[in-house]
Structure 1
Amino acid sequence: MKYPKIYKFYACCVITLLLFSSCVSRKEIVYFQGLEKAGDRLEINKDKSLQIKPNDLLTISVSAPEQAAAMPFNLPVMGMPQAGEANGRSVMGQQQLQTYLVDGEGNIEFPVLGTLNVAGLSRQALQQKLKSRIGEYVQNPIVNIRLVNFQVSVLGEVNRPGTFDIRDEYLTLPKALGLAGDLSIYGKRKNVLVMREEQGKKTYAYLDLTDPGIVNSSFYTLQQNDVVYVEPNGAQRQSASYNRNAGVYISIASVLISIAVLITN
């Protein structure tokens, strides 16, 4: 039994469309294209220091050669309780520094020194400010500061979306995407949204991961509480309206039609 030529024509069309739809160009996938040609125009923002913002949580410890003199400038250390008791007493776990909450006005209440405005300062700038103020009371003070609520959220078409705690002060967009397991094949690499809050206002930027020039953007280096969103590409949006296995079924049907055409030829 031979199929009419029109059937063969339809089969060829299906196979051709399937082949074209399965091909994804390099320009749509590869990151930082043309990096070797970008040359000197690529310059990452040299100011990598995070600025302290309202609602940030800070740990600040003060020490000095005469530790007794530095004690009044430290909050009491808290012990983290653990389950269980020993000899009728609760067992205390690892000790932990208390945190300073930066209020809506950008202030903290610091022992002895009182109200200090810290919003807009980097960790290093606040460190120098405290050393200068405490130095009026203590010789050669040592001040250690850490921002403990540095988090970023990565959402959308990534392999492991979520909110991530960052231990250091420097986080780039590619590193954040790496923490989220990189973009899935369905994520749009040319339109990654980064949202942040600055001075009480929401700001945002769309970045193109295929362009090496994104390192020049102020949004390339992330800040605390930034949100990164990867938009799904057109194929993924369309697949949301039908069974995700439809592509598999179409592929199987195309192969069967091709085999039938070859057999009957």
Structure 2
Amino acid sequence: MKKILFMAILIAMASCIPQKKLIYMQDKSAEKEYSNPYQKAEQITELYKVQAGDYLYIKVNSTREEIDKLYNLGSNQQLTQLGNATSAKYFSYLVKDNGTIDFPYLGEVEVAGKTTTEIRHEIQAKLSRSMDSFSVQVVLTNASFSVLGEVRKPGQYPMSRDQITLFEAISMAGDITGFGKRNQIRIVRPTPGGSTTINVDLTDKNVIDSQRYFIYPNDLIYVEPMAIKQYGIGETFSFSMISWLISIGLFINTLNK
């Protein structure tokens, strides 16, 4: 009986999560030995580099409809009517393993490692040799990110633009649970040179507007669980329930004396 009582007390003590670990964007400047690890982002947009496996929607707009049809897989109206990224891929160019796409009449065009703006400029330059009075639109149609770990709705989420904030991403996943380490968020980011891991502390207000504050296509966000999760205690486990168990244990212990 004493062992059961001891375990109940131990769990009760371990279950007390300090509020400081749950609050976002705290001012830590007054803390001893604190040093701001974040620097303000100098650039936010145009940072994502296209990779193998991505899908690009490319539309050529000119003054001649018959010319447009030669280069375009689908019209803007068709893309809008499809309404989802999966269907949009049918009207997009797949970036092959060698980093190229097969574009009508231009053949293989190297796109990996370039931004959508750089790709647009390159295609415009190639087409300008044979046509004039036109424009080119390039859109990444598979932009998405994934969230795993201690969030309420883990999964893969589409992005409405090529970069969103970390708080926007977390909110789409239903926020971090009461047992998620808000000060130890990991972002796994694929790059042309291999994946990199970025550590972020969401309890530090200085993370806002830093380079680590933004999420890009194909990023993976991982929220590590607190050690208390090993006890199998869920968020709905009430502290009053723990108190009740301790009271029952004390009562039974008294009867056994």
- Work out which of the two has the higher radius of gyration on C-alpha atoms and give 1 or 2: 1
Identity over aligned pairs, percent: 27
Q: Report the equivalent of 1:101.
A: 94
Find the counterpart in structure 2 of residue 211 from structure 1. Answer: 204
Does residue 51 (structure 1) correspond to residue 49 (structure 2)? The answer is: yes
Q: Write the mapping of 1:1-265 to structure 2, written as runs, cut at 5 A.
A: 18=12, 23-34=16-27, 43-49=40-46, 50-75=48-73, 98-215=91-208, 218-239=211-232, 249-255=241-247
TM-score, normalising length from structure 2? 0.75
> How far 1:152 sits from its partner (Å)?
0.9
The one-letter code of the counterpart of 1:98 is F
Distance 2:181 2:188 in 1: 17
Q: Say whether the 8 Å CA contact 2:49–2:113 is kept in structure 1.
A: yes
What is the aligned-residue RMSD (CA, Å)? 3.6
Query: Structure 2 counterpart of 1:30, which letter?
Result: I
SS of 1:142 mapped into structure 2:
strand
Q: 1:34 to 1:137 in 2, by over 3 A?
A: same
CA separation of 1:184 and 1:111: change in aligned 2, threshold 3 A: same
Residue identity opposite 1:44 in structure 2: A
Deviation larger for 122-131 or 99-108 = 122-131
Cα distance between partner residues in 2 of 1:110 and 1:214? 41
The 2-side partners of 1:205 and 1:239 are apart by 28
Whether the 8 Å CA contact 1:70–1:141 is kept in 2: the answer is no
Q: 1:17–1:226: structure 2 CA closer, same or farther, 3 Å change rule? A: closer
Deviations 1:53-94 (A, max 9, x none): 1110111111112222333222367x89xxxxxxxxxxxxx9
Deviation at 1:120, TM superposition (A): 1.6
Matched-pair contact (CA < 8 Å) for 2:146–2:155: yes
Runs (5+) with no aligned partner, structure 1: 1-10, 81-93, 261-265
Between the aligned partners of 2:191 and 2:242, the Cα distance in structure 1 is 49
1:257 Cα offset (Å):
7.6
1:206 and 1:95 map into 2 onto residues whose CA distance is: 33
CA apart distance, 1:96: 8.3
Q: Counterpart amino acid of 2:245?
A: A
1:123-159 CA distances to partner (integer Å, 9 max, x unpaired)? 1221122222222222221211111111111011101
Q: Distance in 1 between matches of 2:208 and 2:168?
A: 13
Aligned residues of 2:102 and 2:109 also touching (Cα < 8 A): yes
Supply the distance in 2 between the matched residues of 1:191 and 1:245 (Cα, whole angstroms).
Answer: 24
**Alignment correspondent of 2:82:** none
Partner Cα separation in structure 2 for residue 56 and residue 16 of structure 1: 50
Gaps of 5+ in 2: 80-86, 253-257
Instruction: Quote the Cα distance in structure 1 between the aligned partners of 2:25 and 2:185.
Output: 14
